[in-house]
Amino acid sequence: MSKPFEFSVARALWPHDEAALRAVRAAVFIDEQRVPIELEWDGRDHASLHVLARNADGAAIGTGRLLPDGKIGRMAVSREARGKGVGLAMLRELLAAARERGFTEVELSAQTHALGFYEKSGFIAVSGEYLDAGIPHRTMRLAIVARPAK
């Protein structure tokens, strides 16, 4: 039997974890998906809450962020770590953070190929397809029950 893939997901802040967050996003969005550099680094990272996934060796393998307006974005898992539950674990952490902040709904702009990933967590597409950074996207929303931080 193959060993389960070990990883951790933690909340992160830009000033502390910038290098690790940048490394994953540069590899996935800029190198792999050819997103223009100036669109990727949009100046909204300082104000966001981030999540960072690391493998058992401590290497950064996943990122995501929650903007102050309740929008989730920059969901990226390193190619070799996909399909092992990392994206789902990061999304759950971002949803928990959104609940703690009192949001009753979260929104994201999903690359069309990833629609099924978000649908598994209950997100519903609320727009037609549009291009962002040359990549087809649809807006998705999820109603959440607000829960104050303990």
* Interface contacts to ligand COA, rule CB under 6 A: 28, 75-77, 82-88, 110-111, 113-114, 116-117, 120
Report the C-alpha gap between 75 and 25 in whole angstroms: 9
Nearer to ligand COA, 127 or 146 (CB): 127
Are the C-beta atoms of 89 and 69 separated by less than 8 Å? no
Candidates 67, 77, 97, 68; CA nearest to 21 is 77
Report the C-alpha gap between 79 and 82 in whole angstroms: 6
Nearer to ligand COA, 76 or 106 (CB): 76
Chain position whose Cβ is nearest to ligand COA: 87
Nearer to ligand COA, 13 or 88 (CB): 88
Task: State in angstroms the smallest separation of the CB of 146 from ligand COA.
Answer: 24
